[in-house]
Amino acid sequence: MDIIKLNAQPRQETGKGAARSLRRAGRIPAVLYGADIESRPLSVSIQELERMFNNPQFTRGLINLAVENSGNRRQTVMIKEFQRDPVKDHYLHIDFYEIKMDQKISVMVPVTTTGTSNGVEEGGILQIIRRELEVYCLPANIPEQIEIDITPLEMGDSVHVSEVPLPENVEIPYEVDFTILTVVSPKMEEPEEEVLEEEGLEEGAEGAADEGEETESGDEAEE
């Protein structure tokens, strides 16, 4: 599998002033960390990042990162956190997480649909509840997308996570058989009771996770 390449440079100075200087020079602060390595402050070229994001190869989110003055060693990483200015849309900071190609990881993969639902042709509305799904697999097996054929769905039909077709050696970890998408009547103003219950459970779980999570993005803490 081809993995897109990205170059980085070690970063010595930290803080708001150093971050602003980097951005004026066409670079942004970055941090590299992982389970078996110490956190390293880096910087990357904004121009290189833009080329990477626009590259069709960048579908699975895997990057071969080469840090200057590290010999020819490249580390396979994924983007763990990426921050942009919501007003000016400028790049602010990026975190890379080192992964091992022989160890399974959990990643989010987009959900796409194919076909035209019978229920939609009869006037129903396709309601996509989960636009991304968490999958667990080796990095080389990460699918570009999870594709669901909606052709046989009638009005009121739903697709649950247990019914999602998966590529070989890919699994979706779940405890509740939640709804991925459903075809509802145009007269319905609110989601089905089942969907509301699931969304409530999801929000509760996310809230608990947010309370316990600490962001360790070096420069954002400094800024």
Position 219 confidence tier, pLDDT thresholds 50, 70, 90: very low
Residue 165, both tokens: 């077709």
For residues 56 and 71, what is the distance between their CA atoms, to the nearest angstrom?
A: 28
For residues 204 and 189, what is the distance between their CA atoms, to the nearest angstrom?
A: 23
**pLDDT, average across residues 196-202:** 53
For the stretch 16-71, pLDDT in tens is 888 889 989 999 999 999 988 889 999 999 999 999 988 877 767 889 999 988 76
Say if residues 20 and 84 touch (Cβ distance below 8 Å): no
- Given a cut of 90, is residue 86 above it in pLDDT? no
- DSSP tag of 144: S
Rounded to two decimals, the pTM is 0.69
- Given a cut of 50, is residue 189 above it in pLDDT? no
∠ CA 105-108-113 to the nearest 5 degrees?
Answer: 135
Residue 3, both tokens: 């993995």
For residues 79 and 195, what is the distance between their CA atoms, to the nearest angstrom?
A: 31
The per-residue DSSP string of 8-36 comes to: EEE----SHHHHHHHHHTTEEEEEEE-SS
pLDDT of residue 72: 65
> What is the C-alpha radius of gyration for the chain, rounded to an integer number of angstroms?
21
**pLDDT, average across residues 129-148:** 93
For residues 50 and 220, what is the distance between their CA atoms, to the nearest angstrom?
A: 21
